[in-house]
Each structure stands twice: as structure tokens, then as C-alpha cells.
Structure 1
Amino acid sequence: MKGIWVVVALTLEVALAAIPEETLDWWQTSVFYQVYPRSFKDSDGDGIGDLNGIADKLGHLKDAGIGAVWLSPIYKSPMVDFGYDIANFTDVDPIFGTLEDFNRLQNRAKELGIKLVLDFVPNHSSNESDWFVKSLQRIDPYTEYYVWVDPKYDAEGNRIPPNNWLSEFGGSAWEWRAERQQYYLHAFAVQQADLNYNSPYVVEEMKNVLRFWLDRGVDGFRIDAVPYLFEDPELRDEPLSGKPDALPSESQYLTHIYTQNLPKTYDMIQQWRQLVDEKKAEDGQTRVLMLETYAPIDKVMAYYGSEERPGGHFPFNFLLISDLNKDSNAYAFNETVHKWIDNMPEGRWANWVIGNHDQHRVASRYGPELVDGLNMLAQLLPGSGITYNGEEIGMVDAHISFSDTVDPAGRNAGPERYELFSRDPERTPFQWDDTFNSGFSTSNRTWLPVNSNYHQLNLAAQKEAPVSHYKVYQRLIELRKQPTVQRGSLQTYPASEKVFAFSRVLSGKIPIVVVINLGSETEHVNLDALADIPENLVVDVASIYSSRVAGASVSRSDITLDPKEALVLTSASQI
């Protein structure tokens, strides 16, 4: 796919050339749907979602048009960080079920033609894992499985950590263990001990984890917390960030030049890519690697790797989360889209993420009126689409009191600052219907409270309604099957300060135009600057607060948009 991304600068637009006609792989045309297992569906009445619940609800994802499901961690864990503190990487936690339940889920997914992707959490393990217990006791080869460092001493002779590194969850990133008379590193919770990738035993151990699940037939991995895999061997102090709102105990207080995105990290990703490509060589089936990489754009793009040594199939594109908010104008949206497109290495594949289990929900960040517009961006811009469970119905953050807060990032911040850090509001149970607990669980108490708005906002109601976020979402996923969306050129255009538009065009196919009013006032715009678009357009799908319906006529040169209105336009009522 060399030579795909050809960029031509225009006045307020940039054109992206069409992809040559060829067969795209499944991961390029699919929508990846993130299931947060604890919150999806509880099948046994304990208030926590599980594998059998997911299997029972896969029909919903098939109806929505989803091609691949990514599961947040399901492995055996003390659940300090709700599965991201893994005690056994090759077994299922009893909370979620058994390996047999996993097989049932996998078989059901195959019946429905849905790929199954697992979360791979390589940076750390639980400090209750057998590996850590043996490392604590200096039992080889586990002795150096973790990042152990001798203490420093201050002028008074008091033992202190080896440097100023801070945990993402607050406080020092070092924890003292008297048994070894050393500190161990934890980039996250104290119970999440960082693995030492300078140990060849650890490297091979984690490759064996990948092999275990590949041999069980999984279709790929989302790799968690990629930037943290390696640290500065000299253990140098990190510089202050200068952020005025950050407390000295909070990770944002430092700039992480010695603990994130080190050169060896890229090499490790390339080794894992080689491993999954070797599996593909056996049967011709691609196993995808998706990378969680919050980092400056140049460091993110380096995770694609090179032609000789490819990295991940794609690092997640978080720019629609990190660089934009409800007050951003059309010029900011245009700049943000091209920040990814223009920096992406030649021949690579884009993706668009608008939410996940670590970020406040789209409806809460942008407002419910822009949910459909953001889904249009995520699904109709070039590349793979990513959806966090609940975004298809426009779920919003729930208010979670400090007493109900369970996220360690929130608990560690304390009652005065927990709302700045807690990820609980975006993790509340999926809202299936208006029955008890929104149909999520029969338990009197769920692991997080169900959002009280479930009586009005739920999937069942949106399936019955003539117009709903869910029905808009279904149509967007259907549109993704079109060659214009899969292979068409991209041209973006800020039609005014508040109206962002883009087109997808492919020779011989019907063009698709997306236009979004980001503002709170009526806007009158002209889209003549978009090339190869007919004058007379019709609405294919409209946001739910739009006064227009599918099939309504629109003039390219004179469009009036209601506040927050978003439209997908084409040259025919049916594509």
C-alpha cells in the first residue's frame, strides 16, 4: 500500500488521495468495539459482568455491524485495578468465568463472524503473582523479573527512593520491600509491579503469553500502556513539568522523559509484531496489534515501525480526545484531523478513537447533541473505527460519590480531588433497557451504580424509537462497507468557524460528505470548495436533533445548519 497518502495543500483544505483498488484486510474495514467486561452484562447475578454475559449479548454487536470485539482484561487478578493487575496471564479470573466460558464466547463470536481481540498488559503484573513472590525471594530466574533498585540515603542517613519518579496513580513510583532490602518500580498502583524487559527471561515469558492466546485462536491484541515498558538505566530524576495545577505527588508534576517511550520500547513492539506475523504465515490470517500510546505525535508515529521492521498495525489515535473539547472550533478540528493524517508514515493505516474506559464519555465531553457528529468522524474518516461500549447509544458519565468510588486513581487522589482522576463515571454498567438495573444485573448491588438516567437512555428504547443515536450508529457502520469510505480520498474543509466538513470521493462511486455544526447558533455555509461534489445533495443520515430526515434535498452551495446539527450527505438517497 505504498504511496497511499498524497497530501496537497489548498486554502483551507487538504486532499488525501484515494487508495488503489486492492483487497483490504479485516482489521482495516472492521469497527473494533471495546467491551469493558465488568460493565457489559452480568449473567450470574453477582453484580459484575462476565464472559457468559458477553456471549449472550453478542447478537447486539452483530446487529450494530461490529466486526471485532476487544475485551478489557479478563485474566486472573486481585482486581486492585480491575483486571489490569494480573496474577496469571494465561487463565481467566473466576469473576468473569473459566477458560471453558472463554471458549463458548469465542465459538459464539465465530458463529456471528466477529473477531475477538484481547487486552495484553505487558508493563506490569500483580505483586501477588507467582513471579513476583519468587522474585521477592530471589529465586532464579525470577530474581530479575522486576525493576529492583537499591535505596539512596539522605544527609541524615534516612533511606529514600532512588529518584523522584512518580506513579500515574499518585505518590512515589517506588515501593520498599524489606525482604530484598530494595525498592521495586510501579508506574501505576503499588500492587502493579513493573516487569524488567532487560531480562531475556521476561521477554520470552511475555512472548509465551502471546503464543498461548494465539494458539487458542484469538485474532489479535490491544497492548496496554506501551510507553512504560523501559526506563532510563541511569535512573535520572525527571524534570518538573511546570503545570500549575499539578500537586507534587501527582504524575503530571513531572515530564516523563526517562520513563516513557524509550528506544528499546519500539524494538519490543517490533518483536511482538514479528511473533504475530509468524502466526499469520502459518494460516494466512492476520492477528492485529493495536497500541495504547499517549505521547507526542512524533513518538506515536514511530510505533508504526518501518517497512523492514513493522511495529503495531496502528497506535491508537487519541487526538479527538486529547486535542479537542466542546469549545473547539472547526479550524481546530481540521488541524487535529491533519495532525494525524499528515504525520502518518507512508503506507500506514489510520484510526479514530473518541472514547474508552479511561476517558469521560463523548456525550459528557462534547454534549449529547454532538454524539452523532463525533460518531460520524470516527466511522467515516479514513481508517479503522473504534467504539467504546455505550457510545452507540450516547451514554453519559454517571455521578459517582467518593464513597462509591472504586478506581484506585480516584481513591488515591482523596475526596477533594477524586473527580479529577477517577475513571468510574465512564465505566458504569451498559444500559440495556428500562428494567431493574437497566437489564445489566439482577443483583441488588452492582460493582458500580447504574446511571440513574437508564429509564430514558437505553438500547431497547433506541431500537424502538423512529430516530435514535443507535439507529444513526447502525447506518454509519453500514456506510463503512462502501468502497468510498474504505478507499476514497479525503478532503477536509472548515466551512466557517463553527462548521467542519469533509468529503470522501472515489472514482465511479457515489461521494460522501459529512458536515457538522459545532456551535450553538444556526450556520449558513457553502461547500463549493470540496472538489468532485455535485450541487444537489441528499441527506443519507442526520443527527437525532436535526430537523432533516433521510432523503431530504440539500444544495451544496447553500446549506443551513441547525445548532449542533450533523449530516451525512450524498448524491443519492440510497448508496
Structure 2
Amino acid sequence: MTVTERKWWKDGVIYQIYPASFKDSNGDGIGDLNGILEELDYIKAIGVDTIWICPMYDSPQVDMGYDVRDYEKVYAPYGTVQDMERLIAETHNRGMRIILDLVVNHTSDQHVWFQESRSSKDSPKRDWYIWRPARYVDGERKPPNNWLGNFGGSVWQWDAGTEEYYLHLFCPEQPDLNWENAETRAAIYKSGMEFWLERGVDGFRVDTVNMYSKGDMVDAPITDPSSEWQFAGLQYCNGPRMDEYLNEMNRVLEKYDAMTVGECPNTPDMSRVIKYVSAKEKQLNMVFQFDVVDIGQGPYKFQTTPKNYKLPEFKAAIRRTQDLIRGTDAWTTVFLENHDQSRSVTRFTSDAPEHRVAGGRMLSLMMCALSGTLFIYQGQELGMTNFGLDWDMSEYKDVDSSNYASPHYKMVAQRSNNDPEALKAAKASLQHLARDHARVPLSWSTGPYNGFSPADSKVAPWMRVLDDASVCNAEQQQSDDTSVLAFWKHMLQVRREYNDLLVHGQFDDLDAGNEKVFVFSKTWQGKKAVAVCNFTDGPLALQLPAEVAMEKARLLVSSVEGAKEKELAAFEGRIYLV
């Protein structure tokens, strides 16, 4: 294994905060920066050393802040730039760091740059976005290519004023910036990055980081003959100038010793990923690969049969991301949840009342035993689960759910002649993977609105709160030694204590084909640990691989109280030192 420099972010544990849903300090039903400030001590007590704030910039909120109207202002319901400055200072006062979301593939269509760009074909900022003339087929106006957008439909929007199309890989209200233009790039670095680096932020999670270079924008191959629009992720990701752009961006970041973690979808070629995160390439510090969280997905996200995968596929996905650091100078990440994913207890274990705590604790043990920088999403430390199938479609607020799922749901209704079974399957698929589950307000207590808003608040939270706060809330778990929260605190302590082995060690899957148990080893300079995780809802006989002699293995930690010597409990995880 190549020993590379130990940067602060390698050993870091990063806690992701979705401002709208974390804590509402002023009773307007929307989480805010002062709500985060109130709970910094709670976050620090988990054992976290860095917080990551999802977009808090001024925004029309078409896509929950991923449509930025002004990088240098804060979305008013969240607070002000002064509130952000105070949050940065208070985070630093507690010995923690803070990173922000950097959203620079696109802006809001209300950003002044785009307003000027669309004002006329002669605008000095016309070339700051991607404009193209129409194609005509048998006299009919068509978009420039057949690419399918991330939220469905074409990626091109017709602008009647200047009679051209502009590109938007996401919503029509999120036009893509033209990174080919050096002037645009300079403005992005100054407004999006340096404005906040000067105020003390320690780095960025970089949204859609591999989409800046769009390549030649030719038609995507036809993979869905029933649709006019075709999946084009392999076209618009990892384009020819990506290395150049990221090197340039890195030169800005280096001046501030700022860290980066990039969101890197549609990149099946691991050598490409290694190039992005190799220390000598000076592009990104690490990326999020989606192999693990995409496991079991159907041809489209909302055409997925829940839990439609076998454990060996899950293990293989983890192996791919762990192997990024095998014999390289690259770095990797560990995560199961974020603002775009449903809850891990529901997805990968069981949210049945008798299993949810065991599932949450076992996943914590597994994650803490994997190499790379560890990311925890708000509520994950409590073992929060998906909301129920009984929630009405109107409770789904996310643009991905409403834009895509509603038409999908309607399409299923239409095609199946309202067949109740088909509608049930469509809703189950939505309920399993919707981004909404991560965006439900955090359950702080059993008080009004689950303690998310002040008790005397007259306004209901912007999104319905969970029905299960009586069995899952932060206040109760802070004084319960058997809780998911207590176990996360313990595991993060174990991870710090065995830092070389658990954070930097080499990962090996010891029983890849096993459909019930995940057994892997971690080795570092002659030291070895073995993790064993039971992914079933029943007890199993404990069998360690032949190369791990039981008499030489010392139990370091188990995720259940009173672990039996020769039997794994349902959803039990263990780590042995060998």
C-alpha cells in the first residue's frame, strides 16, 4: 500500500446537514442556520469533526437550493451572510471544520448571469450558458439532441425571446453554465468559491462535479425505443476537458488548504475515478461513487422492486469503492445516506419495529470498519427510517418525486387501466427510493412537531414530520445506552482508536458469495481486524473464515448487548482483532 500524507480530511467524520429539515429556530416551519447553531454541541458529541451544509444560498428553491440565484447571499428563511459567518466561527470554536455545497454546473434561471445571457444573442454573457439553434425534422422544430434530463424530458428548453434552446441537465429552471468560457470559470471561482473561502469555510462538496465538460453533444444511443429522449449520462459526464477544469479549480482551493469531495455519477471506469482522486493529479481529494446506493435499482429509479438484489452485489459495490486506495495515492469515501437517498435502515436492513435499532447499529459498525472519509447524514445517527406506504402522494415534496413519479404513477394508472396491483407496485417503488425520506424534518423529541420547531410555533413544518418520534428521537437516544446514537458514538471512538487499521487499512472481502453474512478483513502493517455482519432478520451460527482462527481472534466490539459466543443475532455486526 502506498503511504501518502495524512491530511485532516482523510481521518475525518463528516456530518451532512440539510438546512430546511434540521432545526427550525424561529417557528416559521423551515429549518435555519440558527437551528444548526443551537445543535452544534449535539453534533460534536456524536464524534464528528466536520459539518457539511447543503445549499444555503439565495434560491427560488425549485430544486431545494440546488438552483442558486446568488452565490454571495443566503436564502432568507435560513438566515443571512452574518448568520453564516457566525456559524463558521462557532464551528471552528468547537474544534470542528465546515464545508459547503458547491453547485456550479448550473445556476437558477433567475441568476443575474442567466438573465443577461437570455436578454439577447448579442449579450456579453450570451456565451456564459449553452445555447443552440433548433434542428428541423420534416419542418418540425426539434431540440439539438435526444438527451434525457435527470428529472425526465428533454435537456433543452426553447427560449422564445431569442429563438434558441438552452441546455439544462436538471430542471428547466437550472440552465447549465458554459465551462468552455474562461471568463465564466473565473466568475464561478470568485463568486461561488472564494467569497466563502475568504470567510473561513474549509472546503466543498462539489455537486455533479464530472458534468462540466459536455463533449461533442451528439445524440445518445437509443436504449429506450419507447421514448424520444435517451439516457445520456455517459455522454455529458467525464468530458474531454474535465482534467483541465479541475486542475484550475484546485489551484484556487490549494491557496486555502480547502478539501473537496466530488459527486461523480455515471463513471463505471475505475481508472477514470482514480485519476480524479489521485494526489499527484491535483484535481479532487475524493469522490462519491454511487455503486453502493444504486444497488438493486430498476431501469428507472421509480421502476424498482424494493430489496431487489442479493447481498453479494452489495458487497461487490463496496469492494469497488474500497479498492480505489489499494496500492494507489487515491482516497475514497464511505456513505450509505445523503439528501438524495432514502434511509439506509429501510433499504439495507429492516425498519420493522423489532429490527430497526439492530439494523441501525449494525450498519454503523460496518461503515466505521471501512476505509476512507466517513459521511453521516442527519438522522442516520438515530436510525431514522423511511416514512410509511400509507403517506399520500401529496406528501412527496421533492421535484424528482413530483416531476418524475407523478407522471410515472399516472402512466402506470393509464397503461394498467388503474389496476390496483400495478399502482401499488409503482407507489412501493417510489416509497422505497424517494429522496423525500431524507428531507423529512429531524425528530428531536416527542413534543409538538417532534421538537423540530419551537413548541409555541403556529406554523406546521414545511414537510410532514414522521409518525414514529415516540420510538426514535434525539432527546431520548442521548440518555439511552442501547440506542443507535449511543452506538454511533462508541463506534466513532473505536474508529479513532484503531485509525490506521480501520480508516487506512486494506479491505478484503473474505466470503464474497455468502448471501447472508458480510465478512471482510482490514490489514495495516501486520495488524488485522475482521468484521462480520449478519444481514438477515434471524440468528445464524457464527462461522469465521478458515484463515481467522477463533482462538486467536479477540472480540473488539459487537453491535448487540450480550453477544453469544457462537451465534450471531439478527442484524448483528462484530469486529474481531486477529
TM-score using structure 2 length = 0.85
Matches within 5 A, 1:270-419: 270-280=247-257, 287-298=258-269, 301-306=273-278, 308-323=280-295, 326=307, 328-329=309-310, 331-344=312-325, 346-366=328-348, 367-368=350-351, 369=355, 370-399=359-388, 400-413=391-404, 415=406, 417=408
Between 363-372 and 434-443, report the one with greater CA deviation.
363-372
- State how far apart, in whole Å, the 2-side matches of 1:474 and 1:529 are: 32
1:560 corresponding residue in structure 2: 567
Moved over 6 A (4+): none
Judge conservation of contact 1:539–1:553 (CA < 8 Å) in 2: no
User: Would you say 1:70 and 2:61 are equivalent positions?
Assistant: no
- Measured after TM superposition, the shift of residue 455 of structure 1 is 2.0
The whole-number CA distance in structure 2 between the counterparts of 1:317 and 1:374 is 18
5+ long unaligned stretches in structure 2? 297-305, 410-426
Counterpart-to-counterpart distance in 1, 2:255 and 2:551: 47
CA contact (8 A) 1:241 1:255 kept: no
Instruction: Tell me how far apart the structure 2 counterparts of residues 181 and 427 of structure 1 sit (CA, whole Å).
Output: 38
Q: Pick closer, same or farther for the CA change 1:477–1:153 going to 2, 3 Å.
A: same
Tell me the alpha carbon deviations over residues 165-192 of structure 1, each in whole angstroms, 9 at most, x when there is no partner.
2211121111111211111111111100
1:449 to partner: Cα distance: 0.5
Distance 1:212 1:159 in 2: 42
> Does the 8 Å contact 1:540/1:570 carry over to 2?
no
Matched, 1:104 2:92: no
Deviations 1:367-413 (A, max 9, x none): 23432222222222111111111111111122453323322222222
Q: Which residue of 2 aligns with 1:283?
A: none
Greater displacement, 64-73 / 413-422: 413-422
- 1:251-262 to 2 correspondences below 5 Å: 253-262=230-239
1:213 counterpart (178, 196, 207): 196
How has the CA–CA distance of structure 1 residues 340 and 52 changed in structure 2, closer, same or farther, with 3 Å as cutoff?
A: same
The answer (yes or no) to whether the contact 2:233–2:266 under 8 Å persists in 1 is: no
Deviation at 1:305, TM superposition (A): 4.9
Structure 2 contact 105–209 (Cα < 8 Å) conserved: yes
Cα 1:454/1:131, change in 2 over 3 Å:
same
SS for the counterpart of 1:89 is: strand
Identity %: 30
1:455–1:522 distance in 2 versus 1, CA, 3 Å: closer
1:343 and 1:114 mapped to 2: Cα distance? 27
| SS of residue paired to 1:163 | coil
Structure 1 residues 135-171: Cα deviation after superposition (integer angstroms, max 9, x where no partner)? 111364311111111112221x232211212211121
In 1, Cα distance between the equivalents of 2:199 and 2:375? 24
Alpha carbons of structure 1 residues 486 and 308: separation in structure 2 relative to 1, 3 Å: closer
Distance 1:23 1:224, change over 3 A: closer
**Contact 2:237 2:267 (C-alpha < 8 Å) held by counterparts:** no
Aligned residue number for residue 418 of structure 2: none
- What is the rounded CA distance, in whole Å, between the counterparts of 1:488 and 1:262 in structure 2? 33
CA distance in 2, matches of 1:306, 1:414: 38
Deviations 1:185-228 (A, max 9, x none): 11111100110111111111111121111111110000001232
Using a 3 Å threshold, how does the CA distance of structure 1 residues 56 and 537 change in structure 2: closer, same or farther? same
| Other-structure match for 2:211 | 228
Q: Cα–Cα, structure 1 residues 306 and 195, in superposed 2: closer, same or farther, change >3 Å?
A: same
Deviations 1:72-107 (A, max 9, x none): 000010111110000101111111100110011111
Report if the CA contact (8 A) 1:539-1:567 is conserved: yes
Alignment pair present for 1:115 and 2:90: no
Structure 1 pair 438–263 and aligned structure 2 pair: CA distance change class (3 A)? same
Secondary structure of the structure 1 residue equivalent to 2:281: coil
2:543 match: 526
Task: Determine if the alignment matches structure 1 residue 130 to structure 2 residue 112.
Answer: yes
Does 2:30 match 1:53?
no
Could you tell me which residue of structure 2 aligns to residue 263 of structure 1?
A: 240
Aligned partners of 1:222, 1:126: CA distance in 2, in Å?
19
What secondary structure, in the 3-state scheme, does the structure 1 residue paired with 2:567 have? strand
- How far, CA to CA, are the matches of 1:464 and 1:167 in structure 2? 46
Judged with a 3 Å threshold, the aligned counterparts in structure 2 of structure 1 residues 540 and 526 are, in CA distance, closer, same or farther, namely: same
Aligned with residue 167 of structure 2, among 179, 185, 194: 185
Please say if 1:158 is aligned against 2:164: no
Q: For each residue in 1:307-358, what CA deviation from the matched residue of structure 2 results, as whole angstroms up to 9, or x when unmatched?
A: 5432210111333212368565554344233222335571212211101111
- Distance in structure 2 (CA, Å) of the matches to 1:524 and 1:361: 28
Cα distance, 1:290–1:533 mapped onto 2, change above 3 Å: farther
Distance 1:257 1:267, change over 3 A: same
Does 1:498 find its partner at 2:505?
Answer: no
Query: Is 1:478 matched up with 2:493?
Result: yes
Q: In 2, distance between residues paired with 1:40 and 1:303?
A: 35
The residue identity in structure 1 corresponding to 2:70 is N
* TM-aligned CA deviation for residue 526 of structure 1: 2.8
Deviations 1:435-463 (A, max 9, x none): 11111113431111101111221111212
In 1, are the aligned partners of 2:341 and 2:437 still within 8 Å (CA)?
Answer: no
Contact 1:538 1:553 in 2 (8 A): no
Alpha-carbon separation, structure 2, partners of 1:410 and 1:222? 23
Measure, in 2, the Cα distance between the counterparts of 1:256 and 1:204.
26
Match of 2:288, as an amino acid?
A: F
516-525 or 58-67, larger mean C-alpha shift? 516-525
Secondary structure at 1:315 match in 2: strand
Please report how far the alpha carbon of residue 527 of structure 1 lies from its aligned counterpart in structure 2 after TM superposition: 1.9
Q: In the alignment, does 2:469 pair up with 1:454? A: yes
**Structure 1: how far apart are the matches of 2:361 and 2:505?**
22
CA displacement at 1:564 relative to structure 2: 1.9
The one-letter code of the counterpart of 2:460 is R
Contact 2:364–2:488 (CA under 8 A) maintained in structure 1: yes
The RMSD of aligned alpha carbons is 2.5
Q: Please name the residue that 2:530 is paired with.
A: 513
